[in-house]
Structures are given as structure tokens and as C-alpha cells.
Amino acid sequence: MTLLVSLFAWEFDATFDTLGYAILTWGPLKNTFAVLLDIPFVGFTKFNNTIVTGSLAVGLMAYIPVYVIIRVLVALWRKHITPVLGETALAKALNRISLVQKIYELKDNF
């Protein structure tokens, strides 16, 4: 996912920059960010970069909606796509390999 998102994330840099700037210059948080910059390890995170802060905020806001969407897609995949793929000639050939059978048996134990 990181590679996939990295391919088009640069297109959102202007949005991340604007949001990050708004967060970093928000009055109630200015002193907090100033104190955080004095902590040696925190300074290495580059959170004071507007694009870093903006992309972190977008990532945190998108976490739950993306999680729910992925859960729904996985459920649909397992219900509709997996049975169809299991009937293909390739799947049947793979299931005849002893190593694959042993792995499948181990899966049932968990």
C-alpha cells in the first residue's frame, strides 16, 4: 500500500501543506509544538514540516473510514471471489502439491 499510495501522494502535497500549516500555526498548539521541538528525538520526526504534519493528519482522519471499507471489501472478496478462484485449474493444481496441503492443514489448526 505504501508503494501504491506513494505513486500519487505528491499530487496532494498542496493540500497537505495547507492543512499542515493550519495545524502548526493554530494558536493553542504553538507552544506545544515549540516544546516538542526541544525534545531531541521528536525533532527527528520532522513534524514541523507542513507537508509531514498535513499528511499525518489526513492519514489519521482516513484511518477508520479506510478500515471499514477494507473490511467490507475483504468480506465481499471471501464470499464471492474466493470460491470462483478455488475452482480454477491453477488452484486445483496447487492444491495437489503436498507442501500446499500441509500449509492448508496448519491453517485449520489456528
- What pLDDT score does 16 carry? 93
Whether residue 18 has pLDDT greater than 90: yes
Q: How confident is the model at residue 110 (pLDDT cuts 50, 70, 90)?
A: low
% of the chain beyond a pLDDT of 90: 40
26-77 pLDDT per residue, tens? 989 888 888 888 888 887 888 888 999 999 999 999 999 999 999 999 999 9
Residue at grid coordinates 470460491: 83
- What pLDDT score does 60 carry? 94
CA nearest to 60, candidates 72, 47, 73: 47
Amino acid, single-letter form, for residue 78: R
Other CB atoms within 10 Å distance of the CB of residue 94: 13
- What pLDDT score does 77 carry? 93
Q: How confident is the model at residue 6 (pLDDT cuts 50, 70, 90)?
A: confident
Model's pTM, two decimal places?
A: 0.68
Asked if 55 and 20 count as a contact pair (C-beta separation under 8 A), the reply is yes
75-106 pLDDT per residue, tens? 999 999 988 988 899 888 888 888 878 887 78
